[in-house]
Structure 1
Amino acid sequence: MGREFVELFDNWAESYDHSVSGKDLEYEEVFSNYDEILQAVTDRVKGNIVEFGVGTGNLTIKLLENGHRVVGFEPSTTMREKAEEKLSNATIVNGDFLEFQTDMSIDAFVSTYAFHHLTDAEKAEAVSKYSSLLAKNGKVVFADTVFESEATKADVIQSSKKKGFLNLAQDLETEYYTTIPVLRSIFEANGFSVQFEQLNPFVWMIDATKL
């Protein structure tokens, strides 16, 4: 359920903000428009928010600034510590897309750059759980690397290798990046209307509303 990647994020915590700033050439396109992507997610939700994959707290900051009540779940201890350095007033606890507990009524689930850590089967399990916890018009708003098709994904991996971006290519091959048709099927099967919008060459907005 994504926890196989926790060690990676423990090691990445110190340099994560440097990476998302676009200063890492290999991941420059992945994180292009990073601040705008976080703001776009923030602008699409309201009320009581559950955030998954808090990381160093960059999305959390925007959610709190917009007046949302936020409970964040992050499985990496080091990432939680980094987030807590920025967010003394935030609730950030150990948890993930599938294992989380809160007594708060939930208006929306949000996440950026993290849902691909679940297999497609786990994604379906997660969306089913969110559906059961949301009232009508509740939202799931995720921004993540997604591909229009498996062929598109294969082309991007080959292109990354040709550019010498071997770490990026390995990420795309080993993590559980999925396609828009798969996600559309998962959300619609669980009672959501879902829309997709491309935000940079890698990242798409997944905007789902409970019917």
Structure 2
Amino acid sequence: MGREFLGLFEQWAGTYDTTVNGHDEEYKDVFLNYDKILTEVVKRSGKTVLEFGVGTGNLTKELLTAGKHVAGVEPSDAMREIAVSKLSGEAVITDGDFLEFQRPQNQIDSIVSTYAFHHLTDNEKEKAVEIYGSLLQSGGNIVFADTVFINQEIFSETVEKARQRGYYNLAQDLESEYYTTHTVMKNIFEKHGFHVEFTQMNGFVWIMEAVKQ
């Protein structure tokens, strides 16, 4: 359920904001258009939002600025501490992950996440989407911005290109985490009553907006 990567999350916490702002050459293409990605997720989300993988709170901050009501979920103590400090207590951020989390007491309009859903296996992704379907009413949506590949061939080419450029950490991340394909995600969403559309934001990241039918 992603918690096997907790050590990595703790390691990233101190440098994450620097990396997403383009100051790490190895990951620069992954976070290209980062501000636009956050803006697009905010634009597509409803008034009451459940956010998974809050990280250091960048998306949360944008959601709050746009007047959304946000409940956040983050498994990393280090990242959660940074987010709470950055948000000055404006949002409640609880310990949890995509599968095990404190269920919201009020009806939610949207479930959002950025750069995090790939930490679940495909089977776990399906379990998560099934849970989210039970939390959303018809017209509610899931808005995930994450690295996902059109097919396995493009995934393999991306890993090889990273190696050729000497980006060995990126190549290792791609191979050790659970990156999936459009077909897999489309099948998962449709199986659980969602219509999904993919919008490409850079060479790695797509916004997947799935609307409950």
Q: TM-score range by the shorter chain?
A: over 0.9
Q: Does 1:57 align with 2:57?
A: yes
What secondary structure, in the 3-state scheme, does the structure 1 residue paired with 2:112 have? Answer: strand
Q: Does 1:46 align with 2:46?
A: yes
The alignment's TM-score, normalised by the length of structure 2, stands at 0.98
Instruction: Find the counterpart in structure 1 of residue 166 from structure 2.
Output: 164
- Tell me the CA shift for residue 90 of structure 1: 1.3
Instruction: Find the counterpart in structure 2 of residue 93 from structure 1.
Output: 94
Instruction: Find the counterpart in structure 1 of residue 177 from structure 2.
Output: 175
Aligned residue runs from structure 1 range 1-211, under 5 A: 1-88=1-88, 89-101=90-102, 102-211=104-213
d(CA) in 2 for partners of 1:106 and 1:100? 14
Percent of aligned positions that are identical = 55
Amino acid in structure 1 at the alignment position of 2:117: F
Q: Name stretches of at least 5 consecutive residues in structure 2 with no aligned partner.
A: none
Root mean square deviation, CA, Å: 0.6
Amino acid in structure 2 at the alignment position of 1:124: E
For residues 122-150 of structure 1, what are the alpha-carbon distances to aligned partners after superposition, in whole Å with 9 as ceiling and x for unaligned?
00000001111110000000000000001
d(CA) in 2 for partners of 1:60 and 1:53? 10
d(CA) in 2 for partners of 1:9 and 1:180? 25
The alignment's TM-score, normalised by the length of structure 1, stands at 0.99
d(CA) in 2 for partners of 1:116 and 1:33? 19
Amino acid in structure 2 at the alignment position of 1:94: D
Q: Once superposed, which parts of structure 1, at least 4 consecutive aligned residues long, lie more than 3 Å away?
A: none
